[in-house]
Amino acid sequence: MSHNSNSTGHDHSGREEDNQNSRRAFFKNFGLLGAVAAAGGAAIYSGYKYEESKPGHDFVKVLTSDNRIVEVPRDQIKDIRVDVDKLQKQGREGLKGHRFVMVIDLAKCRNARKCISACQGAHHLRPYEYHINTLVMQESEHTAPYFMPKPCQHCDNPPCVAVCPVDATFKRQDGIVLIDNERCIGCRFCIAACPYSARLFHWEEPLMAEADKGKPYNIELNVPQRKGTITKCLFSSDRLREGKLPYCVSACPNGVYYFGDENQDAVTNGTTKETFRLSELLRVNAGYQLMAELGTKPRVYYLPPKNRLFEFKDEKDPVQEPT
Amino acid sequence: MASEVNTGFLNDKKLDSIAADILRPVGITQGFIVWMGFLGISLLACIYAYYLQWDKGLIVTGLRDYTSWGMYIANFVFFVATSLVGMLISSVLGLIGFKWVKPIARIAEIIAVAFAAIAGLVIVSDMGRPERLPYVFLYGRIQSPIIWDVTVVTTYLVISALLYFLPLIPDLAISKGRMGHTPKWLQKTYEVLSVNWIHTPQQYKILLKAVRIMLILIIPTAFAIHTVTSWLFAVTLRPGWDSSIFGPYFLTGAFVAGSAAVVIVMYFVRTNYKLDKYLTLHHFDMMGKLLVLVSIVYLYFNINEYLVPGFKMKTAEAIHLKELFVGDYAMMFWSVQLLGLIIPIILLLFKVFRKPLSMLVISIIMLIAAWFKRFIIVVPTQDHPFLPKQHVPDAWMVYHPTIVESAITIGTIILAVIIITILVKFFPVIPIWEVAEEQHETDSKTKE
């Protein structure tokens, strides 16, 4: 209203004045009231402070992190609480300004499975529960077999997110698809929808259910894992928030993984720590996406297994049977 | 259903005999107690199975990450499918004006109500976190077909319940004073449920109008529930599910299952309650013809669903189809097609098989086949994902249903049978006033 009043004509100005006057009066009264209230509040507060500072408080001895013992009034002690709401909020929003992307060089993979164990360790998974799995692939009878690490493809057109009935799995602004196991109802529609078999379900109590009990839920790590909910590759979004490379990428001994930001057109090799131009890497090596014809628009690129560094050797199936 | 009711039937002497016939079996009998006791005890075992699943998680089932939808989802599709017959019989055939469906309509609605109600429970049995069911309403994403399914199944249940209850009101009022042989609490229930019905022409007019609105409303709703249920599969990219005819394919399959269920209930009502005067050979004959019709339509969709991809044999589709035609599922696939569809069509073309007992046998086989047909649709597709299944325990490779999940599935079927039994046993299973009215009508016409 006041915005318009600047341009109003003469006949309006009189009323405007009245308005101004009554408003002024109101503020005057209000100001008085406010002053009284503030004074009262201050008096009560100082009294409280005084009571508080009186001797005879109950003190507790506390060992600090630098090994000193100090005394602290008992009522001043506060638990250090990880703010789960904050974790949820930042976890759902993602890292602003980034578009994360992974490049997997199939010519370098010899199925060392270090990526898998690093991932399973970080996310408290059993040896046969995979956020990332290395598959033996063979396109047709007369072509050579090769190893293919397969994380979640973090599709830009994710079929899993499209079907989720409760917004438990979602796409972030930085391109990562996450799962909220405090929301998930366990319908497994997303498993049915995912053409990459990238998702898994906790059919029983998760591996470290006992040990993780009561820990605050970090949506970017998906720990504690929960029975009856989905879990999946998260592109190690907890590590990305710290500016580090994902668990699998750092753990690879053979330089298979590049990870980086599409916005910066740069990816870093997890083993050599060399940084490359993403577009250049994909162009020179004829990079491709897995089953791109399905229209899922993956954020993971593969470099074809040409001029391989290792001879293909399919060893015994490394899986461990559940006990 | 006629738009006007000639209330003259109320003074017709025939009403007494019709009401007496239909109300005779109402109440608690020894057979009923034995049957319910049997169902109840079996149900307890199934509830214990569900307790195990609640406690330990879905690990007690044969489901694993590759085949993560199994018997429960197949069972859900079966339940939704069977419930559709309410719409077919009372609505489609009723509105067209087929008089013979009148005595069967209520049986069809009972099946619709029982199966639609339990379908909701079936889907909860598949959930990893059943206690989070309210999240579906609190955080529901309208983009997800599951939310569409929840919405339309609930709507269908409500309309079906109304279609069962509204035409029942005059019967409850007619029953007053004719229920001497039944327990007091049942008479009291009748009185409350009859909502002071006094048979004025005005009341009948309103009733007919309400029923007519419901009969029309239920057609799109019924189409929606099974089409949306089919979309739970068809919206995915998986070979075997990625099909554009899944909606009509499921819908026509539903009519086969539902019609078979109606025949089974008809048979037991006719023989146990000695109602062969009302559920006549003519009714079975017509139901037999209806079964042939819906089966042929379903067969047509089956041919489309399997022949077209079978002609092309795209890589992923080919693996799936080979599994069905000559692979691990071949036995089940061909049994279902032959016993559940082709042989019944051939047999029921002959009048001699459209007799109650042979119809009962054929219908039971068709209904069982219909259940396995849903299994064939749900499970084998997941056995062959796009990427190879590797480095997982052997038990994860192929889906083998466990005893626990079978028990839970049987439990849901028992629950549906319990609902049907109660509705059939405690309330007039054949619409007294509609039958009486029709008799009165034909009698007065012949007199003229």
> What are the domain boundaries of chain B?
7-447
Q: Does A193 touch chain B (CB under 8 A)?
A: yes
Residue B236: closest CA among chain A residues belongs to which residue? A193
The predicted structure's pLDDT at residue A20: 55
State the nearest Cα–Cα gap between B129 and chain A, in angstroms.
Answer: 5
Distance from CA of A302 to the nearest CA of B (A): 15
Residue with tokens 């409850």: B172
Residue A322 near chain B (CB below 8 Å): yes
pLDDT at B66: 95
Residue corresponding to tokens 């020894």 = B30
Interface A-B: count of C-beta contacts within 8 A: 141
Query: H-type helices in A55-152, by residue range?
Result: 84-93, 114-123
Size (chain B), residues:
448
**Distance (Å, rounded) from C-alpha A312 to C-alpha A252?**
17
Could you say which of A188, A318, A319 has the minimum Cβ distance to residue B68? A188
335-394 in chain B: CB under 8 A from chain A: 382, 385-394
Measured in angstroms, the CA of B236 and the nearest CA of chain A are apart by 5
Q: What chain A residue is nearest to B131 in terms of C-alpha separation?
A: A185
Q: For residue B419, count CB atoms less than 10 angstroms from its CB and return exposed for 0-12, middle for 13-18, buried for 19 or more.
A: middle
For A162, the closest chain B residue by CA position comes to B144
> Which two structure tokens, joined as six digits, stand for A214?
């009561």
Long-range contacts of B37-45 (CB under 8 A, 24+ apart): B39/B414, B39/B417, B39/B418, B39/B421, B40/B418, B42/B410, B42/B411, B42/B414, B43/B411, B43/B414, B43/B415, B43/B418, B45/B407, B45/B411
Among B59, B129, B390, select the one facing A186 at the smallest CB separation. Answer: B129
**What does chain A come to in residues?**
323
Q: Does B237 touch chain A (CB under 8 A)?
A: yes
Separation between Cα atoms, residue A51 and residue A306, nearest integer Å: 77
- Would you call A137 helix, strand, or coil by DSSP? strand
- Write down the ipTM of this complex: 0.92
Q: 3-state class of A62 per DSSP?
A: strand
For B129, the closest of A197, A229, A322 (CB atoms) is A229
Contact residues on chain B for A196, CB-CB shorter than 8 A:
386-387
Token pair recorded at residue B340: 């559940």
- pTM (predicted TM-score): 0.87
Which residues of chain A have a pLDDT value below 50?
A: 1-14, 16, 323
Residue A313 Cα distances to A112, A130, A307, A316, angstroms = 11, 21, 15, 10
**Alpha-carbon distance A321 to nearest alpha carbon in chain B (angstroms):** 5
- Shortest CA gap A26–chain B (Å): 43
Name the burial class of residue A126, with classes exposed (0-12), middle (13-18) and buried (19+) by CB atoms within 10 angstroms of its CB: middle
Yes or no, beta carbons of A128 and B393 under 8 Å apart: yes
Quote the minimal CA–CA distance from A190 to chain B in Å: 9
Chain B contact set for A322 (CB, 8 A):
393, 395
| Residue A302, helix vs strand vs coil | strand
pLDDT at position B259, please? 97
Measure B412 CA to nearest chain A CA, in Å. Answer: 18
- Closest approach of A162 to chain B, Cα-based (Å): 6
From the CA of B123, how many Å to the nearest CA of chain A?
Answer: 9
User: What is the full per-residue pLDDT of chain B (448 aa) written as tens digits?
Assistant: 445 777 778 877 889 999 999 999 999 999 999 999 999 999 999 999 999 999 999 999 999 999 999 999 999 999 999 999 989 998 999 899 898 999 999 999 999 999 999 999 999 999 999 999 999 999 999 999 999 999 999 999 999 999 999 999 999 999 988 988 889 999 999 999 999 999 999 999 999 999 999 999 999 999 999 999 999 999 999 999 999 999 999 999 999 999 999 999 999 999 999 999 999 999 999 999 999 999 999 999 999 999 999 999 998 999 999 999 999 999 999 999 999 999 999 999 999 999 999 999 999 999 999 999 999 999 999 999 999 999 999 888 999 999 999 999 999 999 999 999 999 999 999 999 999 988 888 888 777 6
| Residues of B whose CB is below 8 A from A228 | 57-58, 127-129
Q: Which chain B residues are within 8 Å of A201, Cβ to Cβ? A: 58, 65, 68, 128
Contact at CB, B56 and A188, closer than 8 angstroms: no
CB nearest A204 (choices: B56, B382, B393): B56
B233 CB near a chain A CB, below 8 Å? yes
Burial label for A265, CB within 10 Å (0-12, 13-18, 19+), is middle
Residues in chain A within 8 Å Cβ distance of B246: none
Which of A88, A129, A185 should we substitute to test contact with B (largest number of B Cβ atoms within 10 Å)? Answer: A185
Q: Does domain B7-447 have CATH number 1.20.120.1200?
A: no
| DSSP conformational letter for A209 | T
Q: What is the pLDDT of residue A1?
A: 38
Rounded distance between C-alpha atoms, residue B58 and residue B49, angstroms: 11
CB-nearest partner of A187 from B146, B393, B395: B146
- Judged by a CB distance cut-off of 8 A, whether residue B151 touches chain A is no
Shortest Cα–Cα distance, A170 to chain B (Å): 11
Residues of A in contact with B392 (CB under 8 A): 128, 319
Amino acid found at B187: Q
98-127 in B: which are within 8 Å (CB) of A?
126-127
CA B315 to chain centroid = 37
- β-pairing, A100-105 vs A300-303, is parallel
| Rounded CA separation B441/B448 (Å) | 11
Best residue in B138, B387, B405 for a mutation probing chain A (most A CBs within 10 Å): B387
Chain B hits for A191, Cβ within 8 Å: 65, 68-69
Task: Give CA angle at B422 (B16, B95), nearest 5°.
Answer: 65
Give the residue on A whose Cα is nearest the Cα of B52: A204
Q: Do A164 and B126 touch (CB under 8 A)?
A: no
* Confidence (pLDDT) at B181: 85
Q: What is the DSSP letter of A292?
A: G
Task: Note whether A204 contacts B57, CB cutoff 8 Å.
Answer: yes
Chain B residues within an 8 Å CB radius of A146: none
Rounded to an integer, what distance in angstroms lies between the CA atom of residue B218 and that of residue B160?
Answer: 8
How far away is chain A from the Cα of B250, in angstroms, using its nearest Cα? 18
Q: A112 and chain B: CB distance < 8 Å anywhere? A: no
Residues 37-56 of B with CB under 8 A from A: 56
